[in-house]
Amino acid sequence: MKTKKTIIIFSIISIILFSSCTPAFKTLLSVKDPKVETDYSIQNYLKRINSPIRNNFVFDGKPDSLQIYQNIMKSFYNEPQIFKNNEKYCYQGKSNCPSVKISSIKNFNSFYSTCIDDTLHMTDLLSRLRPISKSEEIENTEDLIYIYVYWSIFHKKRKHKKEYFNLLYNLCLDESVNCEVVLINVDLNSKWGLIPEKKMRMRFKMKKSKSIDLEFGKIPYIIDSTK
């Protein structure tokens, strides 16, 4: 019986992967068309999932299509950005599992070292961000490990985000870990010159090389810059 169920599940996944159906890809990847959010709608979403993390930021963007696409693509990053003493640190262990990499922060010096290829400083990242409430301010405290996480409302299920945020929060409650979590929302934002509640279409398409193309629709600018 177990073998039959496994075959059925594998068949369903295979049909989705080898089709060119955008709805199928969106279902598999838990993705919806990005909607233009406001600071209030983001804060309200965090309240609904009972997020315990108080450091919440968005990118301080502008009506620039390239920057908007780059910001929205950060939602698909699986790994958080780790900083200490203003320098970015990379995982040096053998696991590819994001939860294992996060848990390895408990043995930070054994599993993390300064990144070689990515030399982004935390102050540079902070300069691009805007807090969604005036009470939040991040200081570059010496020896404190900062865990920056990109997230969005349009990507992944609410349950998954709730569990992940609680995992990160509880990690930093551990007395053996001196860390702080910072959430960066990368949904389309009304302060980028976009129309609140409007959606931007996304289309997934399987190529002959078995790779997946992601195409974006029209950006919902308040003033259409293409005219």
User: Residue 92 — φ and ψ, nearest 5°?
Assistant: -115, 5
State how beta strands 145-151 and 129-131 pair: unpaired
Report the 3 state secondary structure along 26-94: HHHHCECCCECECHHHHHHHHHHCCCCCCCEEEECCCCCHHHHHHHHHHHHCCCCEEEECCEEEEECCC
Record the pTM. 0.85
How is residue 202 written in tokens? 């996304």
- Tokens 């900083």 belong to 83
Q: What's the rounded Cα separation, in Å, for the pair 86 and 3? A: 51
Per-residue pLDDT averaged across 110-129, rounded?
94
Sign of the CA dihedral with 150 first, then 154, 156, and 161 last: positive
Q: Among residues 41, 45, 23, 40, which one has the least CA distance to residue 32?
A: 23
- Assess whether pLDDT exceeds 50 at residue 164: yes
Whether 115 and 84 have beta carbons less than 8 Å apart is answered as no
Tell me the residue type at 44. Answer: N
Structure tokens at 67: 């920057």
| Cα–Cα distance list, 183 to 12, 94, 161, 162 (Å) | 34, 26, 11, 12
For 125-138, the pLDDT digits (tens) are 999 999 997 767 78
**pLDDT score of 9 more than 70:** no
Once rounded to an integer, what is the mean pLDDT over residues 87-97? 93
Per-residue pLDDT at 89:
97
Q: Could you report the per-residue pLDDT of 186-222, keeping only the tens digit for each?
A: 999 999 999 999 999 988 777 766 667 788 899 999 9
More confident residue, 22 or 148: 148
